[in-house]
Structure 1
Amino acid sequence: MPDSIYEIIDPRFSDLTIGSAHLEQLFSGCRWAEGPVWFKDGDFLLWSDIPNHRMMRYQPDGTVSVYRTNSNFSNGNTRDRQGRLVSCEHGLRRVTRTEYDGTITVLADRFEGKPLNSPNDVVVHSNGSVWFTDPTYGIMTDYEGFQAEPEQPTRNVYRLDPTSGELTAVVTDFLQPNGLAFSEDETRLYVADSGSSHSATAPRHLRVFDVVGGKTLANGREFCRLPSGVPDGLRVDVYGNVWTSGGPAVHCYASDGTLLGRIHVPEGVSNLTFGGPRGNRMFITATTSVYAVYLATNGAQTP
């Protein structure tokens, strides 16, 4: 690792970082930390510890506690526009919503009459529709779920209609769709393909799609390719930059796909989110730990 946590590739990256800000390790002791989501109104961070079958909570005073046991091997998390927790669960192969009273509502667990693979990551559009990815990681082994044969012929990106409850496969040609994020104006959807995790010839890339009417996707194309690491979770900041995990680093790309720089992390990064009172603190889940660093930018659509 270089002396600085920052690797400046394009001068624009310097304007997004704070030279005196340190990478802080907030917690360690996970088996595979994933799915960070910030609750601004509660001033805490939640994340999944997938193999340990639990969700964890960090509060700014340094307190870390178990938020939920028996999490059904939850992975990606987000909040809907009413502030409710929306989670992807490998174990029961479903997407759920945690209501205000703590009860669980199942949003999706089947497509065309057959079980989903293992929902991985999720975002919610301002119109209330829920978009999620469905690779096979949670059914490959018994480590992050329950080993099973996939019953879906493809590994899709789905949209759940908030009114009718209809589930639509909006993209069906991914190797392993993973992290996803809308641009700030919701005209684009970025999706990581992590197929290179099990295939040396698979592209290490993010794809981008135009969002049409908040309902469908068009004009899918490659947004960027990572030179190393497997693209996983990602977020977008208020300037349109895309921050994505890949190996022991967070990679930052301008909206035109130019690599601006990296934040180096001691462990393999799985996911990230913006949070803190002003949305300028990046929380990073990385293998066994959760890290944080303050930046000179803010997250888009931080709940």
Structure 2
Amino acid sequence: MSSNFESFFQIHDQRFAAIVGPSPTIELLAENKDYPFAHEAGVFFPETNSLYITSNRFTSHENQKKIYITRVNLDQKPVTCEEISTDVPMGNGGINYGRDHVLFCGQGTMTEPSGLYRMSTASHKSELLKGDFFGRPFNSVNDVVVHTDGSIWFTDPIYGYEQGYRPQPCLPNQVYRWCPSTGNIRAVADGFGRPNGICFSPDEKTVYITDTDRVHGDGSVVDGRVSSM
């Protein structure tokens, strides 16, 4: 499937036009009709031409709430998709973390902690790097970005509790900055209803955060569309 570029995108900065060129096209590379497999993360590794994505939350045939992580191999024609077996609980946002790791937001479950998980792209083994704010467990860490100074900024709304797979919150809906080298962590913003997506401006002097407080998706399906944040 391909289409005229301008019918899908609007260019607000000519630097973007210089990247995509004068006549880009859009092509459907992969789909999964069994569950909403392409929802968050979108972490690309140019060295291996592979992309890691997290699915939206869905209920499996075993009546369990699930989120899958998929590795999309873009070297194959057609591309291939592989479900990753890893210990990231209810993965959501993610970002490159070094040459061979993904830093995933694990939203957690009733028994597994929410937090920042580092996953190897070679073995797909993961480890919890940060799961609490001065001893209080995070709610359901949602999205993350890494500053060039090494600090990690992430959002932590209470969607997991609202959607029934996390315990009652111990913390407000907040945005955090954590410095792994020193262990310092602080809440940098607490005025959001549901802090969600996060990214820096190109010069990293401004951080942009989406607040999805207006509509609280509960994970139900309406008219074929999954309602979830």
Does TM, normalized by the shorter one, top 0.5? Answer: yes
Flag the 1:110–1:7 CA change in 2: closer, same or farther, 3 A: closer
Structure (1 or 2) with the greater strand fraction? 1
Contact 2:87–2:125 (8 Å) recurs in 1:
no
Is residue 31 of structure 1 aligned with residue 36 of structure 2?
yes
Specify which structure has the bigger relative contact order, considering alpha-carbon pairs within 8 angstroms and separated by 6 or more residues: 1
Is residue 97 of structure 1 aligned with residue 131 of structure 2?
no
Match of 1:109 among 114, 118, 131: 131
Is residue 165 of structure 1 aligned with residue 183 of structure 2?
yes
Contact 2:199–2:208 (8 Å) recurs in 1:
yes
> How far did residue 75 of structure 1 move?
0.1
Residues 231-284 of structure 1: CA distance to partner in whole angstroms, max 9, x if unpaired?
xxxxxxxxxxxxxxxxxxxxxxxxxxxxxxxxxxxx89x9xxxxxxxxxxxxxx
Under a length normalisation based on structure 1, what TM-score does the superposition of the two structures give?
0.57
Task: Give the counterpart letter for 1:131 in structure 2.
Answer: W
Residues 48-97 of structure 1: CA distance to partner in whole angstroms, max 9, x if unpaired?
11424221011222111112355411000101245421010112311111
Secondary structure at 1:47's aligned position in 2?
Answer: strand
Match of 2:168 among 116, 131, 149: 149
Under a length normalisation based on structure 2, what TM-score does the superposition of the two structures give?
0.73
Gaps of 5+ in 2: 58-65, 218-224
Task: Give the counterpart letter for 1:40 in structure 2.
Answer: P
Secondary structure at 1:139's aligned position in 2?
Answer: helix
Gaps of 5+ in 1: 200-266, 271-286, 288-303
Contact 2:88–2:117 (8 Å) recurs in 1:
no
Contact 2:150–2:180 (8 Å) recurs in 1:
yes
Is residue 63 of structure 1 aligned with residue 65 of structure 2?
no
Flag the 1:161–1:8 CA change in 2: closer, same or farther, 3 A: closer
Q: How many residues align?
A: 198
Task: Give the counterpart letter for 1:39 in structure 2.
Answer: F
Q: Name the CA distance, whole Å, in 1 between partners of 2:95 and 2:12.
A: 31
What percent identity do the matched residue pairs reach?
29
Which residue number in structure 1 is paired with residue 89 of structure 2? Answer: 72
Flag the 1:9–1:24 CA change in 2: closer, same or farther, 3 A: closer
Contact 1:89–1:118 (8 Å) recurs in 2:
yes
Task: Give the counterpart letter for 2:169 in structure 1.
Answer: P
> How far did residue 174 of structure 1 move?
0.9
Give the aligned CA root-mean-square deviation in angstroms: 3.1
